[in-house]
Structure 1
């Protein structure tokens, strides 16, 4: 049978205030097209369909259209909630989704209540058994009283054991004559971050070793870490990664979906299929003159620009005039690290003027622009003059 593994769509994600729904629609259409072209028997979506627990109506419409499109290819569609999703809402859609041939699992369930999904491949008639494990927060896996009373390492071990127990229960029914699969949204120890994950829910306390997955599992389809990677384990354990870079920390990641070919009693074959849609994210560094020379080569890429010049008034506007897709403009930290200026002692008790204090502040921020200092002096004099006039008019 042929399976398509994808995860971490993060529909509704914005980048520096810019909506990316149009890009996300193109990416998801491409995934539907791949499912149709490859004639897959099932699509496994390993969590984080949305970027937020309260997605916009437009984001929900896009996810629903995509799930319907995948189901329209004739494939089984199984999706679980990730840490960005609102699990109760995902579960609320279960009856409607089920009527459309889509299986949604928002919360951890026992095998007999939806924690195990079985289907027969339309291409081969072979049986597949899928143990599904949506994201499980540590605060739910480990009781609050234990979190308070136990040490962090004890809590980590307790979380590890909870997931082991859950997986052991869900995989008890694995069969020799079936393709046995696990789909989960979690952090595996030694996994490499993609760059845009929610760090608080990806740290060591939430990580488990790859050894928790049963050795007789044909394939483990993971979501949560946005970098494509295979984990070292006794069975095939794969993160497919996010299908598009969601932040500049992911600009060098390769976006793919995983095509998995599996049969009972034989090793799986995994093929990465690149995703072509979506705008590239790039970081450029240079002086304004150097950036001007690069302006014609960036196309429609979204840019993060690190300027290798001291800050000055109007610098951002100069850069964005050259590169309208520059979503972030900052001074290159390697070029202009903040200066730790020491405050000189006053001379004979004479206090420094506001202009001198402001000039010192600009030095700590690596700003060297006489125009800014002159503007400050002008505004300060204007405010001071107005205040003096007000005092005279009131007789103070």
Structure 2
């Protein structure tokens, strides 16, 4: 059978104030085009469909239309909730999803069977997916208790609970392609650069050994860089189909196409997704930045000039596509460890002059004039 594995769409993402609605439409249209061309039997979307737990109506339309279009290619579609998603809200969409022939799982339910999805390809190959949405550490304990496993003790780790859940839902019957999809961090994997760190730190990491060796393929979401993780079975992150933040500019957005049978190992092909606007970081003085060709990319600019009033505006005029502008940390003045002078009996203008001196702006007369003007206005 053939699987198209994608994750971390983050529809609704706003990058430094820039809406990316049109980019998401283009990116997901390209993912659908890959599905039409490669003809997968199954599409797995491994979480973080949205960037926020309260998506806008526009974001909801983009996601539901993309899932519907993927189903219209003839593939079965299984999608799970991630840490950015509102799991309960995704579950509320299940009546629509069921009617559309889409399997949607937002939260862990008290019925283990609800997280096991089975099917048969047009060629007669049986498959089985364990679909595990994102689990908070607190809910992982509750989930193991719901499944009547060994008593969940407070000192047990997050990895213990996830491992128990996967083991309880796993199966090794022959002549079936066994799959797992989950939204979590696996020890040894590399972060993509734009993830929510609170849900990626070691307390949320699990070893690849939680996945049974009989599993033919583990389709993961959560980390935004496409990568294989060493484990007892094929374990892989598809990565995000677009760079979510500037920390991901070196990633290659893609989806994974997986060919596997019950008796042959998984073969993975990365298919690049190129529709999103590239992200670039550029550095230099104003003179050097004036020669930069943005080429349609969104820019993060590191300015190698001493900070001063109007610098941001000058950069923005040179590079209108700059979404983030910062001064090179090497050019920022070092913190002054000397004792602060007394403020008693000193005028606001004198105190502000001390501040400018401490920040390396003693000669910036423009800022002094702006402060004096502002102080005069608020003192009237």
Q: TM-score, normalised to structure 1's length?
A: 0.88
* Contact 1:184–1:223 (8 Å) recurs in 2: yes
| Further displaced range: 158-167 or 257-266 | 158-167
Q: Secondary structure at 2:198's aligned position in 1?
A: helix
Q: Secondary structure at 2:266's aligned position in 1?
A: strand
Aligned-pair distance for 1:193? 1.2
RMSD over aligned Cα atoms? 2.1
**How do residues 86-165 of structure 1 correspond to structure 2 at under 5 angstroms?**
86-109=86-109, 113-122=113-122, 124-142=123-141, 157-165=156-164
Aligned-pair distance for 1:209? 0.5
Partner of 2:278: 280
Q: Deviations over 1:211-268 (max 9, x none)?
A: 0000011100000011111111111100111111111111111111000000111111
Partner of 2:356: 362
Aligned-pair distance for 1:351? 5.3
Partner of 2:23: 23
Q: Secondary structure at 2:180's aligned position in 1?
A: strand
Q: May I ask how many residue pairs the two structures share in their alignment?
A: 370
| Further displaced range: 265-274 or 158-167 | 158-167
Change over 3 Å in CA distance of 1:156–1:218 after alignment to 2: farther
CA distance in 2, matches of 1:156, 1:363: 53
CA distance in 2, matches of 1:111, 1:36: 34
Change over 3 Å in CA distance of 1:383–1:233 after alignment to 2: closer
Partner of 2:305: 309
Aligned-pair distance for 1:160? 1.7
Aligned-pair distance for 1:337? 4.5
Partner of 2:211: 213
Partner of 2:256: 258
CA distance in 2, matches of 1:102, 1:234: 30
Unaligned runs of 5+ in 1: 144-153, 387-396
Partner of 1:187: 185
CA distance in 2, matches of 1:233, 1:113: 26
Aligned-pair distance for 1:338? 4.4
CA distance in 2, matches of 1:5, 1:383: 59
* Contact 1:107–1:134 (8 Å) recurs in 2: yes
**How do residues 315-326 of structure 1 correspond to structure 2 at under 5 angstroms?**
315-326=311-322
* Contact 1:142–1:158 (8 Å) recurs in 2: no
Aligned-pair distance for 1:357? 2.2
* Contact 2:112–2:169 (8 Å) recurs in 1: no
2:336 aligned to which of 321, 325, 340: 340
Partner of 1:73: 73
2:367 aligned to which of 369, 372, 376: 372
Q: TM-score, normalised to structure 2's length?
A: 0.92
Partner of 1:392: none
Aligned-pair distance for 1:360? 2.3
CA distance in 2, matches of 1:156, 1:176: 36
Aligned-pair distance for 1:365? 3.5
Change over 3 Å in CA distance of 1:379–1:16 after alignment to 2: closer
Aligned-pair distance for 1:182? 0.4
Partner of 1:166: 165
Aligned-pair distance for 1:378? 4.8
Aligned-pair distance for 1:2? 0.8
* Contact 1:47–1:79 (8 Å) recurs in 2: yes
Aligned-pair distance for 1:195? 1.1
Aligned-pair distance for 1:340? 2.1
CA distance in 2, matches of 1:128, 1:79: 16
Whichever of the two has the greater Rg, that structure is 1
